[in-house]
Amino acid sequence: QQQVKQSPQSLIVQKGGISIINCAYENTAFDYFPWYQQFPGKGPALLIAIRPDVSEKKEGRFTISFNKSAKQFSLHIMDSQPGDSATYFCAASRGYQKVTFGTGTKLQVIP
């Protein structure tokens, strides 16, 4: 059972544009929602995370929007840059231990 659904599978954005990646979860016990960034040949790196008691969290150009009633959350990358080209994974867990990952979105930012 896939508990975290992620879309789109791939995304091409012009430099300076907004990249939006969406995720939906099923398990209402989840209380931690991180996003990871992964470059080829590297492990995932924690980008930003949110808990369900807030609807939005912003760190620099990265914003998570969270809709608890819809069981959905999304990542917005403002002013996207070529260096943002990577694969992004949403994830969810109860606590921090057994993290369930989405299937990933490959982002390409073109100049």
Partner 1 sequence: GAGVSQSPSNKVTEKGKDVELRCDPISGHTALYWYRQRLGQGLEFLIYFQGNSAPDKSGLPSDRFSAERTGESVSTLTIQRTQQEDSAVYLCASSLNRNQPQHFGDGTRLSIL
Sites of contact with partner 1 (CB under 8 A): 4, 6, 34, 36, 41-46, 49, 89, 95-104
Closest approach of partner 1 to the CB of residue 89, in Å? 6
Closest approach of partner 1 to the CB of residue 27, in Å? 13
Smaller CB distance to partner 1: residue 73 or 89?
Answer: 89
User: Both ends of the chain: CA-CA distance in Å?
Assistant: 39
Smaller CB distance to partner 1: residue 18 or 46?
Answer: 46
Closest approach of partner 1 to the CB of residue 95, in Å? 7
Starting at the earlier edge strand, list the strands of the sheet with 72-77: 4-7, 19-25, 72-77, 62-67, 56-59
